[in-house]
Amino acid sequence: MSGPLLPTPRGEISRSLVSTLRYGTPLPALPHGLEDTDPYGDDVQLALYTLYELHYRGFTEVSDEREWDPGLLALRRSLELRFLKALRDDVTADPHAGDALEALLLEPAGHDEAGVGHFLERDGELWQLREYAALRSLYHLKEADPHAWVVPRLYGRAKAAMVAVEFDEFGAGREEDAHARLFADLMADLGLRTDYGHYVDAAPSEAVTAVNLMSLLGLHRALRGALVGHFAAVEITSSPGSRRLAAALRRVGAGKAAQRFYDEHVEADAVHEQVVRRDVVGGLLASEPELEPDVAFGVRVTGFLEERLAAHLLAAWRGRRSALRIPLGPDG
């Protein structure tokens, strides 16, 4: 299976990276002053996304050998350190994983006015749901892949439980039931392109950043606790969020394939939540209690980046504007 095409650069870093990948040349020295580039901005995040994709499906124009190119790895590490520092500076430290997880179950007063799911359930229009699906496709078309990186880094009860949940995510042995396949069916039902990575050029940095977080945490053994925290945050918030999105899709008359993806998550993730809390998180902390602050960080940073994305989406949609860098056409 061939990979996607290289994305369109968004600045000096990504331009230099895309050029070296396209033409198979060594990475040139980057201009001075790039250390001041916004770690959450388009240029840095697109460069990171491009580098991370070398570890997934790669790109049609790029040799698979570039995955372990020392120059590219050095660039990736430099950008990762800046990204991770910004996250640690911006996310409130909390050493207690239990408190961070419990906070996910509480919706503050007025949350119905702030949440993307609530907005889409109550007021969302078809064009907004199509934009939301296009953005989420950057993750959902490889759903569960980033979290699979943690499996060899766990053991005992945590590993067994993680594999059990991942087995469900990958369709429990049935290709047609794999969640990535179900999301592709949803996209087709909404008249969107289902090509892997197709909408990266349309995605604002806030959406790319949320996807990059998973790869950052997954590719580093030292961040395994944070990846478990991220996984827990996703599973705990998925069932109620999916229920709202399923209702939104029904309200606008989307087809059954579009509805099935979120209906599946309402049921599956309600079960997964208990397994993740009790056995994945609980098993990890029973064997490595020193990782509790990292688990809490993973939970908190997931919420932080999702809130940034939500603010971007809602500001655009309430202003009757596209939230995408390249608005969708009738054919996606």
Domain of 154, CATH number, reads: 1.20.910.10
Residue 261 covered by a domain: yes
Pick from 40, 55, 90: which residue ends a domain? 90
How does residue 255 score in pLDDT terms, banded at 50, 70 and 90? Answer: confident
Q: What single string gives the DSSP state of each residue in 25-55?
A: PPPPPPPTTGGGS-TTSHHHHHHHHHHHHTT
pLDDT at 113: 53
Are both 289 and 218 inside the same structural domain?
yes
- The reported pTM is 0.95
Residues 270-293 pLDDT 10s: 778 889 999 999 999 999 999 999
Residue 324 covered by a domain: no
Residue 156 covered by a domain: yes
Q: With a cut of 90, say whether residue 239 has pLDDT above it.
A: no
Q: With a cut of 50, say whether residue 108 has pLDDT above it.
A: no
Q: With a cut of 60, say whether residue 109 has pLDDT above it.
A: no
Residue 34 covered by a domain: yes
Pick from 56, 90, 124: which residue ends a domain? 90
Are both 148 and 195 inside the same structural domain?
yes
How does residue 107 score in pLDDT terms, banded at 50, 70 and 90? Answer: low
Q: Scanning the structure block, which residue is given the tokens 């800046």? A: 82
How does residue 92 score in pLDDT terms, banded at 50, 70 and 90? Answer: confident
Are both 79 and 172 inside the same structural domain?
no
Q: With a cut of 50, say whether residue 204 has pLDDT above it.
A: yes
Are both 163 and 253 inside the same structural domain?
yes
Are both 286 and 140 inside the same structural domain?
yes
Q: With a cut of 90, say whether residue 33 has pLDDT above it.
A: no
Residue 144 covered by a domain: yes
pLDDT at 1: 58
Q: With a cut of 70, say whether residue 119 has pLDDT above it.
A: yes
Q: What single string gives the DSSP state of each residue in 299-328?
A: HHHHHHHHHHHHHHHHHHHHTT--SSSS--
Are both 47 and 72 inside the same structural domain?
yes
Q: With a cut of 80, say whether residue 267 has pLDDT above it.
A: no
Q: With a cut of 90, say whether residue 149 has pLDDT above it.
A: yes
Average pLDDT, the chain: 92
Are both 85 and 183 inside the same structural domain?
no
How does residue 123 score in pLDDT terms, banded at 50, 70 and 90? Answer: very high
Q: How many helices (H) and strands (E) does the chain have?
A: 14, 0
pLDDT at 22: 96
Are both 127 and 252 inside the same structural domain?
yes
Cβ atoms of 55 and 87 within 8 Å: the answer is: no
Pick from 39, 61, 90: which residue ends a domain? 90
pLDDT at 231: 95
Are both 191 and 105 inside the same structural domain?
yes
What is the tally of structural domains in the chain?
2
Distance CA 284, CA 155 (A): 8
Residue 218 covered by a domain: yes
Are both 125 and 71 inside the same structural domain?
no
Are both 85 and 159 inside the same structural domain?
no
Residue 330 covered by a domain: no
Rg of the chain on CA atoms, in Å: 19
Q: Scanning the structure block, which residue is given the tokens 């969020």? A: 241
Are both 103 and 80 inside the same structural domain?
no
Task: Print the domain residue range for 22.
Answer: 12-90
Residue 206 covered by a domain: yes
pLDDT at 110: 40
